Amino acid sequence: MKKTGFVIAAILTMSCHAQAFQYVLGKGPSDKEFRKNAQILLQQAEALLPASIKQSFKKPVEVRFESLKEHGDHALGKLAWGSIRIDLKAVPEILRGESKATAINRTHKTFYREILATVVHETIHAYDRLNTHDAEEARMIRQCKDDKERDNGQRTSPECRAYENMYRSYSQNPYFTMIAGFVDSDESWMKHRSPDIYELTSAYESFPVNMEYFLMDPDYACRRPSLYHLFRTKFNHTPFPNSRCQVPLNYVIPDFKGKNSPLRSIDPNRIYQIHYLLAGEGDAMMSGWGHSMFRIIMCAPERKSVGPDCLKDLNDHIVLSYRAFVNSIQINTLKGLTGDYPSRLFLVPMNQVIEEYTKTELRDLSSIPMNLTRDEIRQFVIRTIETHWSYDGKYYFTSNNCAVESLNLMKGSIFRPGLIDVSIKTPMGLEKELRRLKITDNRMLSNRLQAINNGYLFDSYRDRYEMSFNVLRQSLKLGHKDFLEFLKIPAAQRAQTYARISSLDGKARTKAAAAIVLLENGAHRFLKADIKAQLTAQVMAEEKKAAKKGITTRQKEIVTALTEISDMFSQPAAFLKGASGYGLPTERDWEQIQAVSSTKQTQGSDIYAEVEKNVESLINSAQMKEIEAINANVQFALKFMRSL
Amino acid sequence: MKKSLIIALLLSATVAQATEISQVYSASVTSTVDSILAIPLMTTGGVVATSASISGETLKLVLEAKEDAATMIASDGAIRGISLQKALEAIRAENPKLQASDLEIAEGILKM
């Protein structure tokens, strides 16, 4: 009796909707109540699926209930031989029905929903394995496969790299794999704040896991906005049209000894432009090819309109910089080559970056405007924040360096034709490609002086030191070759030279005084850099000796404590350890972030106070005397100016 | 003094102070050195008789603009760095009747 009814129903369904997607409940417990409830569950699953996915299926999808443990699987579900199999442990829950679902502390909240999600998950796998593509994609795949055969494995054109091996409907899509974090390896580097770590194991698994949440969680749009945007476009499907969640664009600044909250917020509507920020070559090995960063031109809150004047609001600009996190006192070059240092995205104040690069390392900072639309700006910021909370990459000096990571940030948010195919190795290489694709516009940098005065170039202070030296060389008839030679003589000796400016007249006096101020500031920075290098080397030597003796010094304890704190601030998902939820933190998460970061700031502040005391005692008296002499020179020049 | 400077320079080359690497302890050492040895310009010096009055917020901008101000003066007005432009904008906004030229204000900023 049961069987006939089932067959009639099947025939009816087939004749009414000839090509409609269909789940067929197959082998499993014969209990009537169970099969009734199982049908309800399958109807729910079907209702969740996007039409575009359902339309790809030409045959019904069978769902069976059997023991998966026997085959060594402990999974709740799996796809095998075209059928979805759900493990028998789901049966009691299905019998209970959704209204009596069992609460669990995993991301789907109830076991019932977990079973429902599993059906969806396996269905997506089935869709993926159909290897179905739209006309344009199918054409690319055919062409690229033909090219590959014809050229017999020789150089692939960049556009074909994604297509020549494509045999899945979507899990090999280059945009999906990029955004899901499968950058350079088989595991995802968007590691933190995951709803289900199974997604990190492969793109093949990441696709159905993410679809579970895309289709079942109204908050997915705000937890994983980039993937949400991708799926919504690809599948032409808005799962929760009434959801009004707001994407929270909050981040944590790496201030682990301050007194104020390190939480910050970005309002994309207050962004004037986003620039590609390129630091010129430096002297250290890692700096030989420049450094890639981005600069978000935020407008000061009191500025009424968003426009070119915002270029002046340096204190509000944010710099995005990928850096390797070195968790020991000494940098190990080998580790930098083999991916043993994690790489993270830091959000740093612009002023700090200007100070570090132009004034201390004497490198130019070129700020090249990118012609992004308002939507692209918003997507880029969203992707930045997602990266800030989830990304934990590996620094490979040659292949996953700042340039590659910066490019990947763009690939995951700016969908210009050709960008996804770009392959570069260096920051200057990236600059060239962005120029070729007409994403950056270099015109503002064609004239050096204009570029400085308009805020597109932050010149290396080397130029200013040279200029200042030339001013003094002319007016005071100095014999030294260049500013470096001049600054090598003791400050007290320079003071004697400076005394002669009182015999100058007119404008030459203020010019000379200004030049002295600049040069002596430079001397101060150079001496400070030497002191820092010396102290660091001293510390390293002490640690090496202690390590040989097997002693743990107080210094080592400090390093360990500081590393732990710094680690958290460079990887802020750590503040939400133990919290439920995935993706971007929501408002409810702020309390925990605030509380934990505040505790760490206090700890950090205490440790810094200790370090400061130690360091102060280590600076030798000769160096302190020289610092004081430099300060005296600056004061002399200022006093002179005030007297005019 | 000279010998130690040379040694220090050699050490600094091998120790790689590259900013691209965030080296935790080195960062704490360098940042404490920074706070112990503040750049001589980052404080206000004498009392300046100018006709401009500025708020606390603007004073912060002025301190940040001092090196740019010195650069403008030393370059005969050619180089006008962005921090200086921001300070000039703020000073003028708070003192709309101020008649002084940018160069004159820059001199005032340096003397402050």
**Which amino acid type is present at position A482?**
D
Same domain membership, residue A504 and residue A434: no
Contact A631 B73 (CB under 8 A): no
DSSP label at residue B20: T
Name residues 63-92 of chain A within 8 A of B (Cβ): none
pLDDT at A644: 85
Domain end residue (candidates: A424, A459, A494) = A459
pLDDT at A490: 96
In a domain, B69, yes or no: yes
Name residues 245-304 of chain A within 8 A of B (Cβ): 279, 282-287, 291
- Per-residue pLDDT tens over the stretch A560-599: 888 888 889 889 999 999 888 999 998 889 999 999 999 9
pLDDT at A373: 97
* The pLDDT of residue B42 is above 80: no
pLDDT at A1: 46
Contact A533 B8 (CB under 8 A): yes
Same domain membership, residue A466 and residue A452: no
Chain B CB contacts of A521 under 8 Å are 39-41, 67
In a domain, B41, yes or no: no
Q: How far is CA A201 from CA A172, A173, A191, A197, B28, in A?
A: 14, 16, 10, 7, 37
Same domain membership, residue A261 and residue A122: no
**Through-space distance between the first and last CA atoms of chain B, rounded to whole angstroms:** 34
Same domain membership, residue A486 and residue A499: yes
Contact B79 A449 (CB under 8 A): yes
Q: What is the mean pLDDT of residues A453-475?
A: 96
* The pLDDT of residue A363 is above 90: yes
CA distance to partner chain B, nearest, from residue A189 (Å): 19
Q: Of A521, A537, A634, which has the smallest distance from its Cβ to B15's Cβ?
A: A537
Chain A CB contacts of B6 under 8 Å are none
Domain end residue (candidates: A427, A459, A491) = A459
Same domain membership, residue B107 and residue B66: yes
Torsion of CA A84, A86, A87, A93, to 10 degrees: 180
Chain B CB contacts of A283 under 8 Å are 13
In a domain, B61, yes or no: yes
Same domain membership, residue B64 and residue B29: no
Chosen from B12, B14, B24 to mutate, greatest number of chain A CBs within 10 A: B24
Q: Which domain holds residue A562?
A: 462-643
Say what angle helices A507-549 and B102-111 make with each other, to 10 degrees: 50
Contact A566 B78 (CB under 8 A): no
CA distance to partner chain B, nearest, from residue A376 (Å): 27
- Kindly report the average pLDDT of chain A as a whole number: 90
A340 vs A381, higher pLDDT: A381
Q: How far apart are CA A321 and CA A319, in angstroms?
A: 6
CA distance to partner chain A, nearest, from residue B54 (Å): 16
* The pLDDT of residue A613 is above 50: yes
Three-class DSSP category at B80: coil
Q: How far is CA A496 from CA A522, A633, B93, in A?
A: 18, 10, 41
* The pLDDT of residue B36 is above 90: no
CA distance to partner chain B, nearest, from residue A324 (Å): 5
Closest CA to A108 of A119, A100, A99, A117: A117
- Per-residue pLDDT tens over the stretch B87-98: 999 999 999 988
Report the chain B residue with the minimal C-alpha distance to residue A514. B70
A510 vs A5, higher pLDDT: A510
pLDDT at B9: 36
* The pLDDT of residue A8 is above 80: no
In a domain, A356, yes or no: yes
- Per-residue pLDDT tens over the stretch A64-103: 999 988 766 678 999 999 999 999 999 999 999 999 999 9
Number of domains composing chain A = 3
* The pLDDT of residue B28 is above 80: no
DSSP label at residue A308: G
Same domain membership, residue A388 and residue A289: yes
Name residues 5-64 of chain B within 8 A of A (Cβ): 5, 7-9, 11-13, 15-37, 39-41, 45-46, 48, 64
Same domain membership, residue A397 and residue A322: yes
Instruction: Tell me what percent of the residues of chain A surpass a pLDDT of 70.
Output: 93
Per-residue pLDDT band for A111 (boundaries 50, 70, 90) equals very high
In a domain, B47, yes or no: no
pLDDT at B41: 65
* The pLDDT of residue B25 is above 70: no
Number of domains composing chain B = 2
**Mean pLDDT lowest among A503-512, A629-638, B25-34:** B25-34
Q: Of A510, A517, A615, which has the smallest distance from its Cβ to B41's Cβ?
A: A517
For residues A67 and A88, is the Cβ–Cβ distance under 8 A? yes
Report the chain B residue with the minimal C-alpha distance to residue A535. B29
In a domain, B49, yes or no: no
Per-residue pLDDT band for B24 (boundaries 50, 70, 90) equals low
Chain A CB contacts of B13 under 8 Å are 283
B82 vs A570, higher pLDDT: B82
Same domain membership, residue A429 and residue A369: yes
Q: Of A321, A331, A533, which has the smallest distance from its Cβ to B12's Cβ?
A: A533
Name residues 525-554 of chain A within 8 A of B (Cβ): 525, 528-537, 539-540
Q: Of B4, B13, B48, which has the smallest distance from its Cβ to A283's Cβ?
A: B13
Same domain membership, residue B107 and residue B64: yes
**Mean pLDDT lowest among A195-209, A464-478, A552-566:** A552-566
Same domain membership, residue A625 and residue A480: yes
Chosen from B19, B84, B91 to mutate, greatest number of chain A CBs within 10 A: B19
Same domain membership, residue A537 and residue A440: no
Q: What is the mean pLDDT of residues A506-522?
A: 94
* The pLDDT of residue A7 is above 60: no
Per-residue pLDDT band for A537 (boundaries 50, 70, 90) equals confident
Find tokens 């201390």 and name the residue.
A360
Contact A528 B34 (CB under 8 A): yes
In a domain, A513, yes or no: yes
* The pLDDT of residue B22 is above 70: no
pTM: 0.89
Q: A324 φ, ψ to 5°? A: -80, 135
- Lookup: tokens for A41: 């569950």
Q: Of A507, A515, A638, which has the smallest distance from its Cβ to B45's Cβ?
A: A638
Same domain membership, residue A268 and residue A405: yes
Question: What is the ipTM score, two decimals?
Answer: 0.85
Interface check for A348 against chain B (CB to CB < 8 A): the answer is no
Domain end residue (candidates: A433, A459, A485) = A459
- Per-residue pLDDT tens over the stretch A614-639: 878 888 888 899 999 999 999 999 99
Same domain membership, residue B71 and residue B28: no
For residues A471-494, one letter each, b for 16 or more C-beta atoms within 10 angstroms of the residue's C-beta and e for the rest, the string is bbbebbebeeeebeebbeeebeeb
- Per-residue pLDDT tens over the stretch A452-461: 999 999 999 9
- Per-residue pLDDT tens over the stretch A338-357: 777 888 999 989 998 999 89
Q: What is the mean pLDDT of residues A14-23?
A: 66
Given CA atoms A260, A263, A269, A273 in this order, what sign does their dihedral have?
positive
Q: Which domain holds residue B92?
A: 56-111
In a domain, B60, yes or no: yes
pLDDT at A255: 85
pLDDT at B13: 33
Same domain membership, residue A402 and residue A499: no
pLDDT at A5: 53
Q: What is the mean pLDDT of residues A436-449?
A: 95
Same domain membership, residue B105 and residue B64: yes
Report the chain B residue with the minimal C-alpha distance to residue A536. B26
Same domain membership, residue A499 and residue A426: no
Per-residue pLDDT band for A503 (boundaries 50, 70, 90) equals very high
Per-residue pLDDT band for A331 (boundaries 50, 70, 90) equals low
Closest CA to A351 of B110, B73, B67: B67
Contact B23 A615 (CB under 8 A): no
Instruction: Tell me what percent of the residues of chain A surpass a pLDDT of 90.
Output: 68
Same domain membership, residue B65 and residue B31: no
In a domain, A301, yes or no: yes
Per-residue pLDDT band for A32 (boundaries 50, 70, 90) equals very high
Instruction: Tell me what percent of the residues of chain B surpass a pLDDT of 90.
Output: 42
pLDDT at B26: 65
* The pLDDT of residue B49 is above 60: no
A159 vs A383, higher pLDDT: A383
